[in-house]
Chains A and B, each alone.
Chain A
Amino acid sequence: MDRRVDGGLLYKGPEWDFNTLARIHDAIEAIGIGELGLNIYRPRIEVITSEQMLDAYASTGMPLFYRHWSFGKQFARNEALYRKGWQGLAYEIVINSNPCVVYIMEENTATMQALVLAHAAFGHNHFFKNNYAFRQWTDADGILDYLSFAKNYIATCEERYGIGEVERVLDAAHALMTQGIDRYPGKRTVDLRSEERREAERRDYAEKLFNDLWRTVPDKKKGSKRKTDTERRRALLGLPEENILYFLEKTAPRLKPWQREIIRIVRLISQYFYPQRQTKMMNEGCATFVHYEIMTALHERGQIDDGAFMEFLHSHTSVVTQPHFDDPRHRGLNPYALGFAIMQDIQRMCLKPTDEDKIWFPDVAGSGDPINVLKDVWANYRDESCIAQFLSPAVIRNLSLFHVIDDEREDNLVVDAIHNERGYMKVRRSLSKLYDVSRHDPDIQVVDVDLEGERRLEIRHRVINSISLEEADADRVLHHLANLWGYPVHMVEADDQENVFAEHHAEPVQPFM
């Protein structure tokens, strides 16, 4: 196969075929791996139509997924928006799997394909393979097999127990999906078998120390004794537990084995997507930075012509645009813009540090080796920590970031910090907090089970900054929870000072059994 066209150009004009794709890929690989030294899963590039892209959207981008009406809803919504022209489709979807599946659309021009390959097959791919959050929580080798298992398992359940029954379990599990995540690694589960052994050891010990005289010592107060019972029960049940789906899977008294397995499937898939939510900004920043470097290098080497480069710049700039807060297009901070700005700024600091950089980033400034610094950032940080560490005054100034506090009790909003010497730290700290997923998701935990009475499940929402839950939705979710648990559920919303904001109660209407 001849992989060259005249003058070293990889392609001319917008047309492409599979040979062009292969040529583009090889040229990008030469830069991405040869020069930037990216470490990636082997890419599997799949060309799809816009209709298939809509299909992919509906199943959260995964090539296969179990069936559920909510995906149909998603599909219907996207399709309506797309057909009306209100929403364009993504140029690509990339999947954290090994090999790394990259979907590219057939409508893309040759330049767009080059951009997309550089962005997804190299940028995102490198991030997936190296970032600690993904390494810790996801299994790129196993995900496709697992999804296939999940799909078949749920289909079998539908056949055996009826679509309606399975749908009910899925509905309930989906409602608790964000409460189905282990946020801290290495949690030790209490093992009932060792618990039995330890109980025997304790008794032996008590027998050895037995002395009838102890009987004459006055009893402890009743209250404190009951408290130890509570503590013991909690420890046995592994409470408090913030992974509600895990708790239900292991302890809900009335669930059938297949229902537990479905809950487990939803939980594991939710866990798989958790790193993506934690690293959205960095992931896009990494991919955008990589595609920018690669496309620029291709142009410098004369492998793409000026027209193609202009086309690239056009879509690149529209991706990294950050409309100002008073602009009607403003939809919050653009993760592409912020990510790209931070990555480019790190590169700048390494190569051309200012005095300010040397004070703020003594380790990085002037190191002269931007790509290795960036690779370290991509590997060892997530959005929250990356911003806390690397959002420099220069980026804050360029984006003119400012911090506003909206306190319900005050009449007006207050500008707390702006892009000046006194404000940099504050802006950085608050932005980092806003990107903390565990703060963004409500902190909800199972705190206790009333084992002696009506088996009521006690849930607690830890209220932060006096922001309570959206009431109607919370009640609906609690209903699902009560059905899964099989007995009443009670939720208290309170802050650390024990100020109670709201209480919810739900009875199982149609418990699963």
Chain B
Amino acid sequence: MYIIDRRRDTHGKSLANRQRFIRRARALVRRAVREATGDRSILDAGRGGEIVVPSDGVREPVFRHSNEGGIRDYILPGNKRFVEGDQIDRPPSGGGGGGAGTDGDGEDDFRFVLSAEEFIDLFLEDLELPDLAKRQVIGEAKDQPRRAGFRSSGPPSALSVPRTMRNSLSRRMALRRPRRSDIDALEKKIHELEAAGGDLDEIQKLKLEIERHRKRALIIPFIDPLDVRYRRHELVPRPVAQAVMFCLMDVSGSMDEHMKDLAKRFFSLLYLFLSRRYTHVDVVFIRHTHEAKEVDEQTFFQSRETGGTVVSTALEEMARIVEERFPEHQWNIYAAQASDGDNVPIDNAKTVALLKSVILPMCQYYAYLEVGSSPEERSSRSPEAPSTLWRAYELLTGPKSNMSMRKVRDRRDIYPVFRQLFEKKPGSIAAGAS
């Protein structure tokens, strides 16, 4: 009897199979992932979780008997009142509940759990950050391991077999360790001599020779602890791409909860996306009414302020923070602005000027999201004219611009709009309402 402790063995032995399965069902899984995100809060999207895939796409067909028709036998346990010849009403479907003969193979939809990693990968598949190449900004350094020669001690996983064998070979050659083939050759010679009835002394000599060889082979091991080499790794500081994401939001009285919810979802998506692309992502929340303030996440989404709406204040605040904390040459800067489109008319010119001269040049990408009231509410009003802000911003967007804008009214639209904004495109981002 042996007892072997396998608990430390590599886990995830079926990881390769799992990846194959997900690849196989990719289209189905992708659809399921996107549907699933509709149901749950977007913040949770990053956590992975259960999805349901229609079983059809990953079916493994076999020849099997159909579940209907024919003459079937069942042996059932637990008879209490039946006697021979009794009639039983046919149960609605599937016969008598399965004796030993049937095991309903009918597959339901297939449910399984995706890891957070897999989930986001599929969720953000085919999206890319615009202008990533324009500025490969280099940020602070982080230590990362790098191969650096060999060493004589280390964990088994770092064992370098080629290097070990090379040492072993050279040592064996240097110490003249007899090879297997030498001994075999000698043995063959003895056999030949014996068969030919050769000189006994000669045979005796050869036998001694073999004995000597064997002893030597025993003394000089094939692999000596001296030979063993492990790969050595060194931690080398390497610059990491980092990004900062500015969330700008109008929190004046005209923004209702529904609008804020839309904005929140959009920001969360953007955050998720950025954190996939950059090792390090900072988020700055700026809310504004007629004045702007940097706040924490909680306050950003929850508290409500009264006052007018002056968008330029938020942009000024953003410019100030960038100046102070996020030097342009070290950070990739992204900004997303959510608003219901209100702005004090006299501020429009200033806002546009600010964006054009200060904000857009320093940003990698600037997304403007105009959130509207929910469709039910809106239907009672007259069809909307474009908002003041929208009209002002329209001047800035264009094929060459790194700014784009979209309108969103309903939760369902968030993800499609997000995809539109970041879809992989051969050209640049087109502007305009969705």
Contact = CB atoms under 8 A, between A and B. Distances in A.
Contact of A80 (B66, B75, B112): B112
A59 B15 CA distance: 12
B18 A75 contact: yes
Interface in A93-148: 99, 103, 106
B201 interface: no
A47 B7 contact: yes
Interface in B87-124: 87-90, 95-103, 105, 110-113
B84 A415 contact: yes
Nearest to A55: B13
Given A18-B3, A44-B4, A470-B64, A333 B99 contact: yes
B17 A413 contact: no
B90 A44 contact: no
Interface string A43-69: 111111101101100110000000111
Determine chain B's interface SS by DSSP, over half rule: loop
Contacts of A401: 75-77, 79
A203 to B, nearest CB: 42
Interface in B13-44: 13-14, 16-24
Contacts of A452: none
B257 interface: no
Interface in A265-300: none
B97 A418 contact: no
Nearest to A178: B62
Interface stretch (A214-222, A344-352, A362-370, A403-411): A403-411
A213 to B, nearest CB: 54
B21 A73 contact: yes
A434 B20 contact: no
B2 to A, nearest CB: 5
Interface stretch (B53-61, B317-325, B422-430): B53-61
Contact of A415 (B16, B24, B88): B88
A48 B10 CA distance: 11
A422 B16 CA distance: 57
B61 A99 contact: no
Contact of B82 (A67, A331, A402): A402
B6 interface: yes
B180 interface: no
B209 interface: no
A76 B21 contact: yes
Interface residues of A, number: 100
Contacts of A5: none
Contacts of A49: 7, 11
A179 B64 CA distance: 11
A80 B113 contact: yes
Chain A CB within 10 Å, residue with most, of B62, B65, B66, B102: B62
B197 interface: no
Contact of B84 (A51, A174, A417, A441): A417
B18 A45 contact: no
Interface in B256-299: none
A295 to B, nearest CB: 18
Interface string B44-74: 0000001000000011111111111111111
A199 interface: no
A467 to B, nearest CB: 3
Interface residues on B, range: 35 or more
B12 A55 contact: yes
A474 B61 CA distance: 7
B199 interface: no
Contacts of B78: 322-327, 330, 399-400
B85 interface: yes
B11 A408 contact: no
B134 interface: no
B80 interface: yes
A112 to B, nearest CB: 16
Given A43-B1, A58-B14, A430-B73, A400 B65 contact: no
A29 interface: yes
Nearest to B64: A470
B86 interface: yes
B110 A77 contact: yes
Contact of B97 (A55, A325, A402): A325
A232 B7 CA distance: 59
Contacts of A198: none
A68 B99 CA distance: 32
A72 B23 CA distance: 10
A239 interface: no
B98 A331 contact: yes
B73 A444 contact: no
A55 B16 CA distance: 11
Contacts of B85: 414-415
Nearest to B21: A72
B112 A418 contact: no
Contacts of A167: 20, 24
Contacts of A473: 59, 61-64
6 contacts: A45-B4, A73-B21, A73-B58, A75-B18, A330-B97, A470-B64
Interface of B: 1-7, 9, 11-14, 16-24, 50, 58-80, 82-90, 95-103, 105, 110-113
> Across chains A and B, which 5 residue pairs bring their CB atoms closest together, nearest first?
A324-B78, A72-B21, A467-B70, A72-B17, A76-B112
Given A401-B77, A413-B96, A469-B63, 6 more contacts: A44-B1, A55-B12, A322-B77, A399-B78, A408-B71, A415-B87
